[in-house]
Amino acid sequence: MCRERAEYYTLRAAELTDPDDTSPQAQEWREKAAAILERRAAAEPAVAQDG
C-alpha cells in the first residue's frame, strides 16, 4: 500500500510540474514517473490485437 501511494504522489508531482521547469527536483520527478510507468507497462500482460 505504501508503494502504491508513493507512486501515485510521484506521478501526480510529475504531472503537475510545469513542463518548462528545469529544476533538479522536477527532473527527478519526471525520471521517477517514467520508471514507474515503464515498470507498470512491463508488468501488464500483452494484449492481443485483432488485425
- The predicted-structure confidence for 1-45, as pLDDT tens digits, reads as follows 799 999 999 999 999 999 899 999 999 999 999 999 999 999 887
Give the model's pLDDT for residue 51.
52
For position 49, what pLDDT does the model report?
A: 52
In this predicted structure, what is the pLDDT of residue 29? 93
The alpha-helical segments, DSSP class H, found in 1-51 are 2-16, 24-43
For the chain, the distance separating the N- and C-terminal CA atoms, rounded to the nearest angstrom, is 38
Give dist(CA 41, CA 22) in Å, integer: 26
* Listed residue (8, 1, 2) closest to 36, CA to CA: 8
What does the alpha-carbon distance between residue 43 and residue 12 come to, in Å, rounded to a whole number? 21
Q: How confident is the model at residue 46 (pLDDT cuts 50, 70, 90)?
A: low
Per-residue model confidence (pLDDT) at position 1 = 78
Report the predicted TM-score, pTM, of the whole model to 2 decimal places.
0.75
Q: How far apart are CA 45 and CA 36, in angstroms?
A: 16
